[in-house]
Structure 1
Amino acid sequence: MAWHSSSQKNNNFSRAFPAQYLGLLNDQNNGNASNNIFAVELDTIQNSEFEDINDNHVGININSLHSVQAQSAAFYNDKNGMFTNLTLISRDMMQVWVEYDEGTTQIDLTLAPIKMAKPVKPLVSAIYNLSTVLTDTAYIGFSSATGVINSRYCLFGWSFSMSNSTPEIDITKLPKLPHVGSRSTSKVLMIVLPVVIASFIFVVGTVIILLARKKLAYNELLEDWEFEFGPHRFAYNDLFLATEGFKDKNLLGAGGFGKVYKGILPTSQLDIAVKRLSHDSKQGAKEFITEIVSIGHLRHRNLVQLFGYCRRKGELLLVYDYMPNGSLDKFLYCEQNKPSLDWATRFHIIKGVACGLLYLHEKWDKVVIHRDIKASNVLLDSELNGRLGDFGLAKSYNHGADPQTTRVVGTIGYLAPELARSGKASPLTDVFAFGTFLLEVTCGQKPVKQNAESEQFMLVDWVLDHWQKGSLVETIDKRLDGDCNIDEACLVLKLGLMCSHPFTSARPRMHLVMQYLNGDMQLPEFTPSDMRMRMLTLMENRGLNHSSTSCQQLMMSIGTMSSLSGGRWTGNGCTEAGAPRRGFRV
């Protein structure tokens, strides 16, 4: 704050210097009496050339930047008389009072915080006759300057009076300090930074929890005995991604023990089918996986390839080659207006399945008994080639050894009669089921039929009756509309009856079946009567009344006979009572 008299010869301040000269003086006129300047300085820079006491002081200046009197910024507290320091660059608003007594020529300078009344005791006082300085009309004004260090000085209000009472300033109407520079930014940071840090901690904690939950969700069972099956084991995460989280849109089918999903492996982009099963028996899972991994070595064009498996908690997942045309039974038992398979395709599928069975029984390193041959377990690839799949009930053993199977598993209608007596599966029990499959494909009928009176009877009995009546052709699927090779169809029907013979010794091995189908060998001569006599003999051995029991009753009695050997039916298969299942049906 400065007062300047107009009697000065040059009222032009254009030659004044900035920085320490405050835009009032320069290095040539500093200290000249002709300046006619009375000023009060609030200085935040210590200038040694002006003998400043420090970098936080107020002073009274007469015609010069050398202070007549100076004191560190502070005030005297009226309540306790204590000297309290103030900081001019604290960004706290302050009040300054400048008073001059013309009679005593005393100049008083008082400083105080904004909300405090004027202290009684001034901070700085000096005796100087200002009438020798301000000799003519005087002007009052404010000036500030800065050097290399950026500073901002703000004046929010002022009042002036020539009398003893100066008008009070209403501090409630003063504006707020402007939010500029680093100080303003720091206040913003004081508010924003804690919020940002808290949000960051929350996000990081959430991510850690989600990753931990995801890891637990993908946690897989892995026991020491499984390391030998390493190449056959899939990571659950890969199967989860392949099936898009096992979404319903990828569901291919469902059964009593699980569901099958279509998937695409993320790395190889290979189309796969993933079967999800439930299993809560550790020992049973071990035995089952051992069988599955062993069978996973099978490589044949007419077998659905098993790529591997995955275990997670109570789940067992099997990974197969994807068959785009689904299972054969969907074509055999589709709605009436839907297209069915022509005879050439059916015959091609029959020979393909026979070729796959021949490989399982006689061509591979071990003997593999499938134990669940039926149309729903025959899958069709993109070219409608038949591939035998679902090896969940299969058993393998060395050639020439005893299969050691004592549990009756499979599906009603395909079970050989001897299973009810001994429970032992063999390649010839597969041949029996294959015989039923031949009748199923040729007739377009399920193994267990139902007449108009809701009575159940066996497909093999129905075909045998027609053959005996000389109307075997009438059993051919009506969907074919007679458009088929009758000789081939009749060959398949008779071969189906031969394979479904109740006596194991009368059933052909698969290498003979292939020769019959390829036309390399003629079917042996046998008549419906021959087969009837064999069945009557078997019924007598079972204690049945042949005068009132048909072939159908013989086949349907398997379930009853199984109970005599300690077995029981479970769903569409049967297991030994009190024993864990070693296979799954899906």
Structure 2
Amino acid sequence: MKQRSSLLILCSVLIVFFVASVSAQTCVHNGKNFIPNGTYDANRRLILSSLPSNAAAQDGFYSGSIGQEPSRVYAAGMCIPGADANDCSACIKSASDWLVQDCTNQTDAYYWALDPTLCLVRYSNNSFTGSAGYWEIVPQYLVMNTANINSNLTEFKKIWERLIHSIIAAASAPKSRYKADVAALTPFQNIYALMQCTPDVSSGDCDNCLRQSVIDYQSCCGEKTGGYVMRPICFFRWQLFTFSKAFGNITLAPPSPHPSPPPLLQRQPSSASDQAKKTDTGSRNISLRTIIAIVVTVIVFIIIIIIIIVVVFARRSTRGGKSDQQVKFNQTGMTTVRSLQFDFKTIEVATNNFSERNKIGRGGFGDVFKGTLMPGGREVAVKRLSRTSEQGEKEFKNEVIVIAKLQHGNLVRLLGYSVKGEERVLVYEFVPNKSLDSFLSDPLKQAQLSWTKRFNIIKGIARGILYLHQDSRPKIIHRDLKADNILLEADMNPKISDFGTARIFGIGQTSSITERIFGTEGYMPPEYRCEGQFSVKTDVYSFGVLVLEIICGKKNRSFCFPGPDLVTYAWRLWREETPLELVDQTILENFPAEEVTRCIHIALLCVQHEPTDRPHVSTIVSMLTSTTIISHVPQTPGSLDSLY
């Protein structure tokens, strides 16, 4: 157990690299709201849509307003100095889109996005240009890495504080408002820090905002290995690894050939003869060689220990090892996102103490309840993990780590989590129409799904998977795409949910193998079900099954038409050139035959037996949104029962 915990702690720095790439946003709670789809909302959407091009065209900063009082909207967009115009525009567009989606009726909001560059988008019903009042300083969003500094803490703090103070001075200097810099911590490790203020505030206000952010960070996280603090007018981040293109332009000065020894090793100059001076110099040279030898030996020893730990951990995992439930939550190396953590009492009140009347579903790892957060009355979905589930703890950690990174209109939004004793709770946005499964299982609800709605659901799911595979950082493989995990909003917009079994892929990684198969029978491709091999093509296969289910209005595992399963039946109809016999009876009178046939064609390409024969999701999205002829011809699918 100690070996496994050590490995997790060692890996925590790598974990925070992924989580720190998540954008953060704050809908400022100033007690003011607007009516969705009203005049203020229309003005908000209009001015935010203009920010990407205006900010990119005006050296990375633009502010303006639109409309008449009381529906006038003020907005600003900003990128770091020197940012590529395309990166700046893309970053501000992403931030603007998420403010529109996430801050549904708040008149004030700001959003710092960290990818593909650093940028800020802010809007309000009051002019904020040049302001540094309460609403510019008080709302803050703090993220820290849970790993502790393992070097000399006293020396680290001296170097860290010297770097931070110099950056504050440079960033708040006249005509500045931005600074990124690096300091050498050891011969093998640097400290990277970046600060930025909006260019419309004064030097004093910038200095005050940055200092307050540093104080907030030090008060909670002074011994941690990195983090960031965000406010409406300033941003502060530091790490022990590079995290911005800005550092590529900074040259770290090499150490002096004869560096001054650390303060604790410094000696007063001697007043003895020249021979005494030579002896002292020789002693210090010998001491330096000794120190280098010791450092090299220690580094080699640490590397050997790490290799041993990794090997032992791998062997223990192969034998089944101990349950992840024995690893305490605060030892996982997960990044603590303070604004995402709810007090457990708040969740109990919201769900009426997890009342049966509030229960809206049951998942593989626990029950789901509808809740109402107070004050404000926001409706949420609360997932309470079962205490008896062997995989509940692992799923909980995985969902917090994975979903915290994901921000897309076709993915369910994680609002927060809560931990108390053995209680593990996840809080999501509330999606009123429940799951796609509830529509396919209910004949009355099924009749509500016109072909237009079904086609939009198919396209929305494809866009969500495309984000997971291609646009999110890092790449995510869901591994359990099915009708139960597709939630539907009031307008039937689909949202992919349940990321407990999802896997993160590293840069350049294309596939992996596992001995523990997660997923649902009927949605898993043969190479995953039989050999444990999974990749992006695993999700593509599941998507193909989903498309067939949406078209025929029945689930694969409850299929009762001629043929062993839905995939096999669809393939037989395609081979007999009668694919439209698959279409749900409730939409037979009104559907575009060519469009439906195209979707069946795409679905059959997705369920091909060989992963290499299945299209990438980017190709799928292109085929769904165009009318060009699909040249690829489907072959025998990968259903276990279709190989006849």
TM-score by length of 1: 0.50
Q: Deviations over 1:193-243 (max 9, x none)?
A: xxxxxxxxxxxxxxxxxxxxxxxxxxxx86355562433322211111111
| Per-residue deviation, 1:332 | 2.1
| Per-residue deviation, 1:445 | 1.7
Amino acid at match of 1:553: D
Instruction: Say whether the 8 Å CA contact 1:291–1:396 is kept in structure 2.
Output: no
- Which one of 543, 548, 552 corresponds to residue 434 of structure 1? 543
| Per-residue deviation, 1:340 | 2.6
- Which one of 507, 522, 535 corresponds to residue 413 of structure 1? 522
1:457 alignment partner, SS class: coil
Structure-2 separation of matches of 1:332 and 1:500? 20
From the superposition, tell whether residues 403 and 317 of structure 1 become closer, same or farther in structure 2 (CA, over 3 Å). Answer: farther
Amino acid at match of 2:591: C
- Which one of 331, 339, 348 corresponds to residue 231 of structure 1? 339
The answer for the alignment partner of 1:517 in structure 2 is: 624
Q: Which runs of 5+ in 1 are unaligned?
A: 1-220, 536-550, 557-586
The answer for the alignment partner of 2:354 in structure 1 is: 246
Structure-2 separation of matches of 1:467 and 1:402? 31
| Per-residue deviation, 1:448 | 2.9
1:462 alignment partner, SS class: helix
1:398 matched to 2:506? The reply is yes
Instruction: Say whether the 8 Å CA contact 2:395–2:500 is kept in structure 1.
Output: no
Structure-2 separation of matches of 1:377 and 1:430? 13
The answer for the alignment partner of 1:474 in structure 2 is: 581
The answer for the alignment partner of 2:310 in structure 1 is: none
The answer for the alignment partner of 1:262 in structure 2 is: 370
| Per-residue deviation, 1:322 | 0.4
The answer for the alignment partner of 2:439 in structure 1 is: 331
1:413 alignment partner, SS class: coil
Q: Deviations over 1:328-372 (max 9, x none)?
A: 122222135873300001101110110010000001111101111
Structure-2 separation of matches of 1:451 and 1:338? 17
Q: Deviations over 1:178-207 (max 9, x none)?
A: xxxxxxxxxxxxxxxxxxxxxxxxxxxxxx
| Per-residue deviation, 1:253 | 1.1
Instruction: Say whether the 8 Å CA contact 2:387–2:423 is kept in structure 1.
Output: yes
Structure-1 separation of matches of 2:439 and 2:536? 27
Q: Deviations over 1:362-395 (max 9, x none)?
A: 0111110111111121111121111111112111
1:422 matched to 2:531? The reply is yes
The answer for the alignment partner of 1:298 in structure 2 is: 406
Instruction: Say whether the 8 Å CA contact 2:385–2:392 is kept in structure 1.
Output: no
| Per-residue deviation, 1:515 | 0.3
| Per-residue deviation, 1:522 | 3.1
Count, aligned residues: 315
Q: Deviations over 1:257-306 (max 9, x none)?
A: 31110111113432110011125699973675155323222110111111
Q: What do you get for the CA RMSD once the two structures are aligned?
A: 2.7
Amino acid at match of 2:535: S
The answer for the alignment partner of 1:553 in structure 2 is: 641
Amino acid at match of 1:439: L
Structure-2 separation of matches of 1:336 and 1:476? 17
From the superposition, tell whether residues 279 and 401 of structure 1 become closer, same or farther in structure 2 (CA, over 3 Å). Answer: farther
| Per-residue deviation, 1:312 | 3.0
From the superposition, tell whether residues 284 and 400 of structure 1 become closer, same or farther in structure 2 (CA, over 3 Å). Answer: farther
Amino acid at match of 1:376: D
Structure-2 separation of matches of 1:495 and 1:509? 11
Identity fraction in percent:
34
From the superposition, tell whether residues 326 and 337 of structure 1 become closer, same or farther in structure 2 (CA, over 3 Å). Answer: closer
- Higher radius of gyration, 1 or 2: 1
Structure-1 separation of matches of 2:505 and 2:632? 34
The answer for the alignment partner of 2:381 in structure 1 is: 273
The answer for the alignment partner of 1:321 in structure 2 is: 429
From the superposition, tell whether residues 258 and 440 of structure 1 become closer, same or farther in structure 2 (CA, over 3 Å). Answer: same
- Which one of 337, 348, 362 corresponds to residue 470 of structure 2? 362
Structure-1 separation of matches of 2:530 and 2:542? 17
1:487 matched to 2:581? The reply is no
The answer for the alignment partner of 1:309 in structure 2 is: 417
Instruction: Say whether the 8 Å CA contact 1:296–1:306 is kept in structure 2.
Output: yes
- Which one of 592, 604, 611 corresponds to residue 497 of structure 1? 604
Structure-2 separation of matches of 1:398 and 1:519? 32
Structure-1 separation of matches of 2:395 and 2:510? 18
| Per-residue deviation, 1:481 | 2.9
- Which one of 377, 394, 397 corresponds to residue 485 of structure 2? 377
1:293 alignment partner, SS class: helix
1:460 matched to 2:570? The reply is no
From the superposition, tell whether residues 484 and 334 of structure 1 become closer, same or farther in structure 2 (CA, over 3 Å). Answer: same
Structure-1 separation of matches of 2:630 and 2:446? 35
Structure-1 separation of matches of 2:426 and 2:509? 28
| Per-residue deviation, 1:450 | 4.7
From the superposition, tell whether residues 555 and 243 of structure 1 become closer, same or farther in structure 2 (CA, over 3 Å). Answer: farther
| Per-residue deviation, 1:479 | 1.2
Counterpart mapping for 1:13-412 below 5 A: 223=330, 225=333, 228-279=336-387, 285=393, 288-335=396-443, 339-401=447-509, 404-406=512-514, 407-412=516-521
1:414 alignment partner, SS class: coil
